Amino acid sequence: MTRFSQLAIAAMSLLGTVWFASVPASAVGPEMVTLPDGSKTQKGAKDENGKWMTPDGEPTYRVKPDGILDWYAYSGFRRYHSECHVCHGPEGEGSTYAPALKDSLKTLSYGDFIGVVASGRVRHLPGGQESVMPALGDNKNVMCYVDDIYIYLKARSDGAVGRGRPVGRDEKPEAAKEYDKACFGG
Ligand code: HEC
């Protein structure tokens, strides 16, 4: 078995679902829109108990006019800064070491994002060096919140969220509390 499929299976069993396999291979989500109340999200997105979803079934953000983030986007801000910031720079801005994920998400699909995070990636550079994205598929602090990290970076990528610490967030939905318990095994 290849390294990829082992990791994919590990990621799936970790999450206890087969959503990993069902992620559409389609590309980048629809564009940002402003809702009647002035908040920003992606076109066609709907609130499912505090979690905003695109018509393609991909998670997305909702940023109120005063800059208040939905719970998941805020959670993604925090998780990004504890798990990814060290290499990818603050707020997805990139570093000399690793790419700016706020730019990557302009073309990288949701499915491909999850795949790279879970399975990692090695790129061979001239002169025998390697550029390595570690495989994080067995790290629950990453994989339990990989959607949240995606949501935050998508909001950065679309320009719905600026740099710096968000001004505030919505209450944590009950569904998110249940999810935490389930993902970390109670
Ligand atoms: C130890 C350093 C390191 C950490 C920690 C790290 N990355 Fe990376 N990541 C890299 C490097 C280096 C690359 C570029 C790999 C290449 O050259 O193909 C990369 C590439 C990526 C890519 C592909 C970007 C593109 O433009 O194709 C994604 C997506 C990504 N990382 C997401 C994450 C996320 C999300 C986290 C945190 C959960 C994270 N990474 C943590 C080093 C890291």
Q: What is the pLDDT of residues 45-101, one digit of tens each?
A: 999 989 999 999 999 999 999 999 999 999 999 999 999 999 999 999 999 999 999
Instruction: Indicate whether this model's pTM tops 0.85.
Output: yes
Ligand 1 pocket, residue 182 CB under 6 Å: no
Locate the ligand 1 atom nearest the alpha carbon of residue 86 and give its number: 5
* Residue 159: C-alpha distances to residues 32, 46, 109, 147 (Å): 9, 19, 17, 18
Ligand 1 pocket, residue 55 CB under 6 Å: no
Residue nearest to atom 17 of ligand 1 (CA): 131
Could you tell me which residues come within 8 angstroms of residue 13 by beta carbon, excluding any fewer than 6 positions away?
Answer: none
Residue nearest to atom 2 of ligand 1 (CA): 87
What is the token pair recorded at 128?
A: 């025998």
pLDDT value of residue 175: 95
Locate the ligand 1 atom nearest the alpha carbon of residue 125 and give its number: 17
Strands (E), the chain: 32-34, 40-42, 46-48, 51-53, 59-60, 68-69, 121-124, 130-133, 168-169
User: What percent of the chain stands above pLDDT 70?
Assistant: 83
Local structure of 160: helix, strand or coil? coil
Split at pLDDT 50, 70, 90, the class of 186 is: low
The larger pLDDT score, comparing residue 51 to residue 19, is at 51
Residue type, 167: V
Residue nearest to atom 29 of ligand 1 (CA): 113
Ligand 1 pocket, residue 153 CB under 6 Å: no
pLDDT value of residue 139: 97
